[in-house]
Structures are given as structure tokens and as C-alpha cells.
Amino acid sequence: MTLQTILDPERAASSSHGRPTEDGRPMTPAQKQLVQASFARLVPSADAVAEMFYRELFVLDPVLRKLFKSDLAEQGRKLMSMLGTAIANLDRLESIAPAVRDLGCRHAGYGVKPADYETVARALIATLEHGLGSDFTPALREAWTSCYRVLAGEMMAGASECRGGPAPSEPAAQPGLY
């Protein structure tokens, strides 16, 4: 799965780099808009949102804490900046795919394993649910799940390429998100 396949299936169909998605459904324009609008609501509280995310992540898997050597507040700012850039560019795949793959390669070097993407997904969805409250509808959950699947799949492909292995054919299982 690539960002291009999920976010722009027509362009992906003409590309040799497109792989089918796990469930065959691309991220819709409405889902992109939902993700962008909901993220914009969180931006004014970005530091608190990032803190909430890392707190949830370490509750879910305390072992992951050892992967973070630097100041978590600074890491949180990096997380929110990266998410903001990716979400702002959901319609400009060619501009974000290389950076997302590179991020996956760097994360593999930090010790992130494919299974960790499931834990991150659960922490992200829990954070969004808490941060958006009753506005976190089933449709918004599905939109964010699709967005995360796209980004995580691209990161895992970058990590795999970095290690010299084949790109994964599908993202990490995310049963807790459906």
C-alpha cells in the first residue's frame, strides 16, 4: 500500500508504484476533509494533545518509553508538526510520500518494530477520542483510521526498504481500530 494508492486511486492506477490497500478502499475526499478539520481543532492545544498521546502510548506499552531519549515535550512538538504537514498535504501525495518513507526508515533505526505501529494507532485513536469528545463520531474514527493506515503503511514501507527487505504488502493489523 502506498499513499498514492490510498489517497488518489486514479493516479495510482497509472503508476507502477501503487499497491492495493488492505481493504481495497481508498481514503475518500470526505474523509480527508474530516481529518483536516478535526486536526485543525486540535492545533491550538497541540502540546496538551501530544502529552496525552505519549501518556496513552506508554500506558499501552511501557517498553516503548525507552525509545524516546530526548525531551518528550520537544518530541511532542515534532509529532504534531509532522502530523500537521502530512494532514495538510493529503491531496499532494507526491510531496509527502518520500518524507514519510524517510521517517519510517529513521524510526526503524530508533528501534521501532512493525508491531509498534498497532500500539501507536491505538494511542492515536484514544487521544483523538478524548481530545474531540462527542465530536469523535464513527465516521471521524473511520477517517482517522484510514489516514493512519496510509501513513503507517508508507512508513513501514520506508523502514523495510531501509533494512533492505521487500516493502510490506499491507499495514500492521489494526483490529482495535475497527
Q: Which domain holds residue 48?
A: 38-171
- 15 within some domain: no
Give the CATH number for residue 121: 1.10.490.10
pLDDT in tens, 115-139: 999 999 999 999 999 999 999 999 9
Enter the DSSP assignment of 24: S
Query: Is the CB of residue 108 less than 8 Å from the CB of residue 157?
Result: no
- 82 within some domain: yes
- 177 within some domain: no
Q: Is the pTM of this model over 0.85?
A: no
Query: Is the CB of residue 14 less than 8 Å from the CB of residue 84?
Result: no
Q: How far is CA 145 from CA 14, 75, 128, 172, in A?
A: 26, 22, 11, 12
Q: How many folded domains does the chain comprise?
A: 1
- 162 within some domain: yes
- 10 within some domain: no
pLDDT in tens, 76-126: 999 999 999 999 999 887 789 999 999 999 999 999 999 999 999 999 999
Q: Where are the alpha helices (DSSP H) in 61-137?
A: 72-88, 93-110, 116-132
Contacts of 96 by beta carbon, 8 Å cutoff, 6+ apart:
3, 85, 86, 89
